[in-house]
Structure 1
């Protein structure tokens, strides 16, 4: 397969990644140009240097250097990091792939399928992660989980306290929960219920 065809396949693949998967799901415009720029830039550099004898080393070097520059420049969510590395991988696969003519297109399709499934809105759609700031200093874990479940209307799976301010009466906690509870919550469930049972057994 000619290099020009591989370049066209890469452009089609990154267009699908950005305009069909990422933007309709997350609506962050600034990362659209970032993903496109990274992909096309890597494609151009790798394509111009792929005729030398540094193929594999060049690919790994580009992947590492560009990822460090991009990930240190701004804070990205984990799904945005995944899209970023996918755009990088698509740009590298075309010019630097060897062996079978269909290896690079097959790997590009694999990346798109994985991103489509892994970031699908229906996958674990009830699960959430929040940083919650409570206007009280809560030191009891069971009371904390009960308060979070009443506030969030869901089942708390994990509650990691990041900071308790006894002076200003605030609690900062990272919560991982699922929105499954309907109606008012009268007591701890899930993570909170297990913690309460352990405390009761110790008494």
Structure 2
């Protein structure tokens, strides 16, 4: 049974790190981190041989990853979710006396949730940026109108002023918005672009 769970874990870790994360986000360093966390948790949980100790290990590692998140500006919330998923898969597969069917079902559930939640088409127009505006704007409504115009007609859902500089006339804003849908070029513009392309080919 242990070898079956190890095989399930390794297959799931590869799917999570390569087929899901790397294919969508292209960060090789985090692929190494996800695989290392997964295999490390699997090895420790399997060798301990006690469900209570393994559970304590899992909770401790969750706490460590939370500290890493607070101390690092390079790891996004999305990547923390992948960290937790890799850890959870290793822990589920490494628990003593784990049933392969139940463990396999839970691991499949984790992969399915990550596939759907991080799919490019899910909330694809939602954006989050920190914007430096070259005007000092204290009024929130005016600031939202200014940001919407500068972000290509986006719908501003939330904006928080982080720094208002009256001397240098700037405003630093944390803004969340929905990007405007991509506009379809008119037939005349498509014809002009086609003609320009044909001319460049000649």
TM-score, with normalisation over the residues of structure 1?
A: 0.81
Offset of 1:63 from its aligned partner?
3.5
Gaps of 5+ in 1: 184-203
Root mean square deviation, CA, Å:
2.0
Partner residue of 1:178? 178
Q: CA deviation at 1:34?
A: 0.8
Alpha-carbon contact 2:5-2:100 (below 8 Å) kept: no
* Separation in structure 1 between the aligned mates of residue 117 and residue 59 of structure 2, nearest angstrom: 24
Offset, 1:73: 5.3
Offset at 1:114? 0.2
Question: Could you tell me the TM-score, scaled by structure 2's length?
Answer: 0.82
- The DSSP-based 3-state class of the residue aligned with 1:102 is helix
Which stretches of structure 1, 4 residues or more, deviate above 2 A after TM superposition? 50-65, 68-75, 97-101, 180-183
* Alignment map for 1:39-78 (pairs within 5 Å): 39-51=38-50, 54-65=53-64, 67-68=65-66, 70-72=68-70, 74-75=72-73, 76-78=75-77
Residue correspondences, number = 181
Alignment CA distance shift 1:47-1:97 (3 Å): closer
CA distance in 2, matches of 1:172, 1:127: 20
Whether 1:155 and 2:159 are equivalent positions in the alignment is no
Counterparts in 2 of 1:19 and 1:10: CA distance versus 1, 3 Å: same
